[in-house]
Structure 1
């Protein structure tokens, strides 16, 4: 390992000891704000040094006054840059589930409890360029989003990120490290369409229909029986048949669809099975078919809706 890599690792380990993982909200204290000059700040300091040498060489009081005035402005800029972060509160807003391979979006809320606005704030993952920018008005908040690539299913914890600013003059860079207890659920990547047709083992498409009493379709007539509602009597048939007839209706009942781990080929590995089950969940949900999920060690009863889809995909993600 080269010296720079060793130094970087030691620096990251030091940051980790100074930045525990917290659930949030977390308030930035004065002792947790780090500040260094930017390249413009170093240039500004060099300019002041040259001006000071010139003033001393020519014993010019106006040159001294201008040099000290600019030095005072630099010190004032350092004070405001540092104060732009102090007492800012940071909280996790959560992350919507994504499929493996997609970018997870972590929402971070910045709360400004002071009466002064906070300008030109940026947040970024460690060792990455700033990904989001915001101005936070006084007694207000702003929500920023940080994208992070996902590669495999399961929980994706949010890594350490930096909240930074160079306001107001860009002469100094102030930042703090934050590690919130925040994670995104990553679903398995769905298999390609048509890799294995959706089927429950009952017919070609996994569904059969049965007739049951219902209001959907007219299915025939039967003789009148005591207790039948008057509105169900087929009045038009009385002209041909003195015996009253009653109208029958039925609707189509779809069979419950089971997405079963054991129904997949035995030669398939676990991740291939999970990918195919994920595809079946999405297809069944899009077709508005009641479906259940059977996995080794547990199952989910057939149902419909976004909540059931999430429960099935979460079970696949954490299997």
Structure 2
């Protein structure tokens, strides 16, 4: 119940805050401070000392009580001042698979001439990540956030806190950035790779063989093709990148097809296709991907792997997928795409 009440209070306090595209500077209006459990115990101790001093009219007791109270008030001021003026930059994270932790990157900048100690970043009820920032310096922090489902993952509100110097008070603030990362399906399944089929003309599986005379025309450029295979003169005439095609060394095509899987549920199919993509890439195949209304031409390499995994991650999100026949048929949301470019 306490955690639920805290989340409701957090949502009420930050109801007017919107995700930021740029850095956030913590001012007095954004910073909150309350005693920690140790601080409440310390306050109870001061009360007992004060009552004892009154009861026995002990001057040393009064002096000791007021000295401890002054120390507590000074720590409250320092805890608040540790966060005041701190500048936080939010970056994205590298894509991960479902079930892993996405490491979102943050940069904490100290613009004053004194160090800041014991500053932490915390996501929900996770473990705080503590760092120290030198004077006029900055420190990078990577906050792990669980990626439970495929698709776009946004961290939401991040708590910035400190209990410096004595842990009697906790000063905190909430920040939220317009950043996101892509979560691929979990690679899981027991099925072997499909049997490769002979390459068809125009499919993109033909290789340019040095010294070959069996020239078979051009085909549109597919990401991942070698620059040596591009017909630059023909591309200059047509304003479209074309690739020379030779049929004497056509390699078999490996198609990872949605229809080959007789699994009823969507997620197990995507998990099996994800495992196939990783396995085909590791074994050096030229592979393509067929999904309902999505077709990615055969190729190999890191760009092809990324295109296929992105299509699987965004599958069934009609706002993010369009059906074309050449290249990747998935589009990122405008804000998330802008965030990816900024993070890169």
TM-score normalised per structure 2:
0.70
Q: 1:110 to 1:191 in 2, by over 3 A?
A: same
Contact 2:257 2:291 in 1 (8 A): yes
In the other structure, the counterpart of 1:185 is: 182
How far 1:287 moved relative to its partner?
1.7
- Choose 285-294 or 48-57, whichever is displaced more: 48-57
297, 302, 320: which one aligns with 1:306: 302
Query: Partner of 2:146 in structure 1?
Result: 149
Match in the other structure for 2:253: 257
1:136 aligns with 2:151: no
Structure 2 CA distance for partners of 1:253 and 1:86, relative to 1, 3 Å: farther
Report if the CA contact (8 A) 1:261-1:296 is conserved. no
The whole-number CA distance in structure 2 between the counterparts of 1:5 and 1:129 is 12
Which residue of the other structure, out of 288, 293, 317, is the alignment partner of 1:292? 288
Q: Counterpart of 1:133 in 2: which secondary structure?
A: strand
Seen in structure 2, the aligned counterparts of structure 1 residues 294 and 23 have a Cα distance that, compared at 3 Å, is same
1:316 aligned residue:
312
Gaps of 5+ in 1: 216-251
* Native 8 Å contact 1:198 1:283 kept in 2: no
Evaluate the alpha carbon distance shift between residue 257 and residue 280 of structure 1 in structure 2; reply closer, same or farther with a 3 A threshold: farther
Following superposition, the deviation at residue 26 of structure 1 comes to 1.0
Change (3 A) 1:47 1:5: closer
Q: Residue deviations 1:85-138, cap 9 Å, x none?
A: 111112222111111122222222211111111111122112x14331111111
User: Structure 1 residue 187: deviation in Å?
Assistant: 0.6
Paired positions, count: 275
Determine the structure 1 residue equivalent to 2:78. 80
Matched residue, 1:118: 116
Equivalent positions of 1:227-238 (< 5 A) are: none
CA contact 2:197–2:252 (8 Å) conserved in 1: no
* Aligned mates of 2:258, 2:73 — CA distance in 1: 70
- Give, in angstroms, the shift of residue 262 of structure 1: 5.0
1:35 Cα deviation from its structure 2 partner: 0.8
Q: Tell whether the 8 Å contact from 2:112 to 2:136 is kept in structure 1 after alignment.
A: yes
What secondary structure, in the 3-state scheme, does the structure 2 residue paired with 1:17 have? coil
Verify the 8 A CA contact 1:259 1:277 in the aligned structure 2.
no
Cα separation, partners in 2 of 1:257 and 1:50, compared to 1, 3 Å: same
1:309 match: secondary structure: helix
Q: 1:306 and 1:69 mapped to 2: Cα distance?
A: 65
Q: Work out the CA distance in 2 between the residues paired with 1:180 and 1:172.
A: 26
Secondary structure of 1:311's aligned partner: helix
Cα shift at 1:291: 2.4
Mapped to 2, the partners of 1:209 and 1:18 lie a distance apart of 56
2:260 pairs with 1:277: no
Partner in structure 2 of residue 176 of structure 1: 173
Closer/same/farther in 2, CA of residues 61 and 35 from structure 1, 3 Å limit: same
Tell me whether 145-154 or 114-123 shows the greater mean CA deviation: 145-154
2:198 and 2:250 in contact (8 A); partners too: no
Q: Distance in 1 between matches of 2:7 and 2:69?
A: 36
* Matching residue of 1:229: none
Q: CA RMSD in A?
A: 2.9
After superposition, the Cα gap between the structure-2 partners of 1:76 and 1:197, relative to the gap in structure 1 and judged at 3 Å, is same
Question: 1:31-71 deviations in whole A, cap 9, x for unaligned?
Answer: 21111112222222223223333443444444433332222
SS at match of 2:102: strand
| 1:198-233 deviation line (CA, Å, top 9, x unaligned) | 333349xxxx99995559xxxxxxxxxxxxxxxxxx
